[in-house]
Amino acid sequence: MLVIVAPGQGAQTPGFLAPWLELPGVTDRLTAWSETAGLDLVHYGTNADADEIKDTAVAQPLLVAAGLMTARELFPAEEQVRKLVGAFAGHSVGEITAAAATGVLSATDALAFVRERGRAMAEAAAVTATGMLAVLGGDPEEVAAKLDEHGLTPANNNGGGQIVAAGTLDQLEALRADPPAKAKLVALKVAGAFHTEHMAPGVARLAELAPTLTVADPSVAYISNKDGEVVRSGAEVLARLVSQVSSPVRWDKCMETIEQLGATCVIELSPGGTLTGLLKRNVKGVATLALKTPADLEKAQALVAEHAGEENPA
């Protein structure tokens, strides 16, 4: 069974979209989506520097547009997703990519949603200086205790002993000075404490937007960050996208579901690499491929032909 996954914020790198613009129609598509996204996606995907694309209001629409663009290159006809893909999952903002790719939202509505999500989260992050640190390794109970001791939230559980701590910069510095034993701390390329109470204003803003969007049920199994459950209702997917802004991401649970569904191959949309890396470490015996450039499309298409077509669990 084939599973497609979409990465979250922090996966972007300067110029990552440049090779894709060589494909017919990609520039036109991104230019059209730029109007809805409220920013020049072509510029930010090719010429912008690391600081520019770290901006939450830029990074989030850019990642969703990149994911949808590469999904269309892999599956040019919409019905191919329903026929060939067993399940879809996204990490954080990647859930919006998954929602659009499975037909819950149109590409236009998805970009309108992520535009407001990115702006709202950037505004919320500007109120208090916050950030996120990946905590790699260490005893899980000790890690949890240390985060609690310093008032930090375990905003992401990425499986395999990788927890992302989120909170104020002062709280994060306190953790750096007093880390859990045998744990490595790595700063993430994000501009705020996402998936915590600091993002509550974003939830309210998206709750106002949600009723204006057209929603359909997902065409294939949609695996939710909230608890790793397969969600079959489009209305429930949208409700979860709204609340997800201030709720932890349980990617560990998503990977468990991917394994339980019987996945034999996982392909990660651009800018791929992060999620396939986690899957390689946590889900044994599953073929993986990160779609980094158009040069990866031929191999991806071969994997689709090899692993697609089994009964759709949706």
Report all structural domains of the chain as residue ranges with CATH numbers, in order of start: 2-125+196-307 (3.40.366.10), 127-187 (3.30.70.250)
Amino acid 304: pLDDT: 95
Task: Kindly name the residue from 34, 92, 247, 270 that is annotated as catalytic.
Answer: 92
Active-site residue among 34, 91, 150, 195? 195
| pTM, entire model | 0.93
Residue 309 has a pLDDT of 66
Q: Return phi, psi of residue 92, to 5°.
A: 60, -115
Which among 84, 82, 26, 14 is positioned nearest to 51, based on CA atoms?
A: 14
Structure confidence at residue 191 (pLDDT): 76
Which residues in the chain show pLDDT less than 50? 311-314
Which pairs with CB-CB distance under 8 Å and at least 24 residues apart come from 286-295?
286/258, 286/259, 289/265, 291/70, 291/74, 291/267, 292/16, 293/19, 293/20, 294/19, 294/20, 294/22, 294/23, 294/73, 295/19
How high is the pLDDT of residue 108?
97
For residue 92, indicate whether it is catalytic. Answer: yes
* Distance separating alpha carbons of residues 302 and 314, to the nearest angstrom: 23
Cα(287)–Cα(125) distance, integer angstroms: 37
Please give the pLDDT value at position 125.
Answer: 87
pLDDT in the model for residue 187: 87
